[in-house]
Amino acid sequence: MTEQTYASHAHRPTPTLIAALLTLTALLCLVGSALFGWRTLYPGLAALCFAVFVLVAISRLYIVRLQDRIILLEMKMRCAEVLPAGQDARLNELTPKQVVALRFASDAELGDLLDHAAREKLPPADIKRAIKHWRSDYFRT
């Protein structure tokens, strides 16, 4: 990711704008079909279907991103509580996906697995395979 600055921090929700344009197109086509007899019923229904698809995709993307941010905070707190002072700083060496994978490790193996994952730059799947005693996560969406 590029470094964020004042000039580059603006949020531009392109998928939301696409969904809004598709919804507006659907409304115009459907209202035109119903009130003015335009032959735009099927294009209007197609635009409405695409708008719903984009909105569902946005919803899923936002849910997963928010959940990952919450997991990052949870893991920072957990590492600060469970690990010896200073060892929790190794968490900053991992990518968000690696931290999300690490959350399944039991408290007893968290420190060793954190060091191993940071040192070897293990991918998330390998981190999960290395876990011997899983902490279940029944709240993941």
103 is in which domain, residue-wise? 83-136
Residue recorded with tokens 């946005």: 58
For 44, the token pair is 């209007």
pLDDT in tens, 15-62: 999 999 999 999 999 999 999 999 999 999 999 999 999 999 999 999
pLDDT in tens, 63-105: 999 999 999 999 999 999 999 988 989 999 999 999 999 999 9
**Do 93 and 55 share a domain, yes or no?**
no
pLDDT tens-digit series, residues 113-141: 999 999 999 999 999 999 999 998 888 77
In a domain, 22, yes or no: yes
Which residue from 101, 10, 22, 25 is spatially nearest to 56, judged by alpha carbons? 22
**pTM, entire model:** 0.78
> Does 69 reside within a domain?
no
Please tell me the total count of domains within the chain: 2
